Chains A and B, each alone.
Chain A
Amino acid sequence: MAVQRLSPQTHGDTAWIEREAAQARAYDAIGARYDEAFPHKEGQVACAEALLEQLPPGARVLDVGSGTGLPTARQLVSAGCEVTCLDLSPRMLEIAQANVPQARFILGDVLDLAREPGRFDGVTAFFSLLHLPRAKLRDALGLLRDILVPQGLMALAMVEADVDDVPIPFLGSRIRVTGYLRDELQAILPDSGFTVELARTMSYAPETSEAGPEVQLFYLCRRAAGGDP
């Protein structure tokens, strides 16, 4: 299936465009090694499962930062969802196409998605929004809320940290990451128009020396009723 390309909405901001290109290049370089370093994603699978339990059959789900498509996009497709994979890295998207040929694919930045209300019944964003600076991350949460149907669901995973857009070595590349502590994130989500229905914290140790152990935060959130918060 053809890959849809998003065109940058931030034409003037060349610094931002270059930054996102650098993040994309880092993931191009990481490629399939990502799954070798981060196997056994029980927490992520369980969180997606919780999402699936509440979605109608044939639900339209957007997987933000779909990576290799494993395990989440494949899990969603297997459950009968109509899945759209979004990723910034062409290489990652290629791998996902091979792993989950049933999905649709969009190459680009989540912030460049068209703000079409009610386009998706569900959104998954596992460890993808952490690549945005805090201000943009808040924008992205608002955008994702807007493209969900009323009462739509979002499964979100972040790494617990107190940093805003700092570069870290990651699987031989350098990427910029952002994090919140669990209490802060649980306050930010309602501010962005989501109600937290499930929250889970778990430790995770990658099987590599090129990334450290981390504390992962999983949330199942529902689009709050009413207009813009």
Chain B
Amino acid sequence: MDLRDHLRFLKEATEAIGTGVDMVAIAQQFAALLVPRLGDFASVHLLDALFVDGAPAPFSPHATAVSLMRRVAVAHDEPPERWRLVVPEGAVQIMYATSPCHEAMATGLPVYVPSVEPTQAAAMALAHGTRDLIPLVAGRSYLAVPLSVRGRVLGCVAVTRRPERERFDDADVLTVGQLAAQVALSIDNVRLYRGQQATTAELQRAVLSTAPSALTGVEVAHRYLPGNPEVEVGGDWFDTMALPGSRVGIVIGDVMGHGVHSAAAMGHLRIAVQTLAALDLPPDQLLRQLDNLAQRMGDDHLATCLYAVYDPIAGICLLANAGHLPPLIVRGAGRVEPVAVPSGAPIGVGGVAFDTVSIPISDGDTLLMYTDGLVEARGDDIEERIEALAESLRLASPVATDPEGLCDALIGTLDPDKHEDDVALLAAQLSSIAASDVAHWLLSPRPAAVGRSRRLVRQTLAGWSLPELFDTAELLVTELVTNAIRYATDPIELRLLHTSTLLCEVRDNDHYLPILLEAADLDEHGRGLFLVSRLARRWGSSRTAHGKVVWFELATADA
């Protein structure tokens, strides 16, 4: 064989094999390259376990030799049907000890049989289960080369030549061995890549904000661009959480560092914030608790975090900051203001106090929170960067009137090739709830509170022109208030909120959350929450810093 021709073949073959992203396609490419140039027949076998997501390749070659193998590629120079039934592609089998492939995998070394003896051919056929195998192997020179990489054997390739053809020489063995190494590497890369993809997809699911359905008063849009598109996960996160009183908690955070490690730390913090937010803590206390938790979890990660609580009834937004970039507010008429919130220390530093600031919100204002990836390419000084971002917002806001449009406009200003850091962006358009749609009372926790609550509900629903809800609302309020006064020692709070639905909340200072029980026919208690779960559109309960709140929501005719 001409050396130059041989080198060209090797180069082209290596390139063809190296580009595959699919194990079977790589193996088939390999088999096709071998025939007829290096053999009259070739078959490629891979560990069946490679086709199961997340399964690691066995460490010892011997383990591979006795594992289930899948024949993923067959190539030969005869009519396509000739060997299909004898050695079908896709078949899964154990590699029998009679096959040279078994030895090759068990030792991790190539096995060369210059001519398969009739007795060995018969033994192979016996193990294989059909005498039809004999003509495929008998008298042929047989080369079995393991597909090994990084100390592991992933499979094997078998190449044979008919007796009339020249037998394999050293150069052939080396050539097949060279290509097999390349194939093994490519297949292992696919395996690793796929494993990484599965991991990142799993993490991604944890990252992606699951916005609570029907967030009254807030329209949210968000974007997440991983800095490294291959690893679609980073340390940035955001969340929106429904809180009692139609308030909404909004968080954005950024674990310093990159990759899966930061993503895992982010996952911890994200869940911690959700749990703490459900306790309805003021923002500064939430960050303080988060900092404590981060220390106890032993994560040596630092994270910046900004937590906001929007109250659509009071028309204010409370914010506390742990070292994160300050948010921007797009007011009416395209006025953009940075929010003056003390920068605070990052989560993980420990022992520092945070401050809550309160900013007034008008109907339709948009709160924009982001991570530093959004501003990293906008100048050297952080103040300049934020000002540049504010300028982009000023330009965008007259055109982009909704949060989605604002996000698009801001992402559009990013240089797609330049951003190296993750970019997370959340725009929340805040609408207010008129005081006339809210009613709130303190009631002494005594039996009379039940009847009084019913009366207040009826009077209030009459004022809101919701007579169709009288009966259900009174019934469910009765249950909630009855439950609340049973253990409360301080006045309970009853709140009604009329938006596209009717929301009713009852707070008391008892910490035990109610449990939904199936009441037996004659039970006096325990029927209440069952009723609530049946008649309400939604219902729930959550612990607060001073007790608990139980709520239900009824659909209104106009919703």
Contacts and interface: CB of A to CB of B under 8 A. Distances in A.
B315 interface: yes
B438 A203 contact: yes
Interface residues on B, range: 20 to 34
A162 B442 contact: yes
A190 interface: no
Interface SS of chain B? mixed
Interface string B340-366: 000000000000000000101000000
A160 B495 CA distance: 12
B490 A166 contact: yes
B491 A205 contact: no
A201 B456 CA distance: 12
Interface residues of A, number: 25
Given A161-B441, A162-B443, A202-B436, A207 B491 contact: no
Contact of A163 (B311, B440, B491): B491
B314 interface: yes
Contacts of B278: none
B16 interface: no
Interface in A160-213: 160-164, 166, 168, 177, 179, 181-183, 201-209, 212-213
A160 B318 contact: no
Nearest to A169: B546
A215 interface: yes
Contacts of B495: 213
Contacts of B245: 212
Interface string B390-424: 00000000000000000000000000000000000
B449 interface: yes
Given A162-B449, A162-B452, A209 B318 contact: yes
B441 A205 contact: no
A212 B311 CA distance: 11
Contacts of A166: 442, 444, 490-491
B313 interface: yes
A116 interface: no
Nearest to A211: B314
Contacts of A163: 442-444, 491
A69 B185 CA distance: 83
A112 interface: no
Contacts of A164: 444
B80 to A, nearest CB: 77
A162 B439 contact: no
Contact of A209 (B358, B440, B491): B358
B109 interface: no
Interface in B114-150: none
Contacts of B455: 181, 183
A69 to B, nearest CB: 24
B13 interface: no
Given A206-B314, A207-B360, A208-B314, A168 B442 contact: yes
B448 A162 contact: yes
Contacts of A161: 441-443, 491
Nearest to A216: B435
B421 to A, nearest CB: 34
A213 B442 contact: no
B435 A203 contact: yes
Contacts of B435: 202-205, 213
Contacts of B439: 203, 213, 215
Contacts of B311: 209
B282 interface: yes
B316 interface: yes
Interface in B305-350: 309, 311, 313-316, 318
A206 B438 CA distance: 12
Interface string B50-94: 000000000000000000000000000000000000000000000
A209 B316 contact: yes
B442 A205 contact: no
Contacts of B452: 162, 181
Given A207-B360, A213-B435, A160 B314 contact: no
B517 to A, nearest CB: 29
A205 B314 contact: yes
B441 A207 contact: no
Given A162-B452, A166-B491, A213-B435, A207 B440 contact: no
Contact of B282 (A181, A204, A209, A214): A209
Interface string B485-529: 000001101010000000000000000000000000000000000
A202 B318 CA distance: 26
A213 B441 contact: no
17 contacts: A161-B443, A162-B443, A162-B444, A163-B442, A163-B443, A179-B442, A181-B456, A203-B435, A204-B435, A205-B314, A208-B314, A209-B282, A209-B309, A212-B245, A213-B313, A213-B439, A213-B440
Given A203-B438, A208-B314, A213-B314, 18 more contacts: A160-B456, A161-B442, A161-B491, A162-B442, A162-B443, A163-B443, A163-B491, A164-B444, A166-B444, A166-B490, A177-B442, A181-B441, A181-B452, A203-B435, A208-B358, A209-B318, A215-B439, A215-B440
Interface of B: 245, 282, 309, 311, 313-316, 318, 358, 360, 435-444, 448-449, 452, 455-456, 459, 463, 490-491, 493, 495
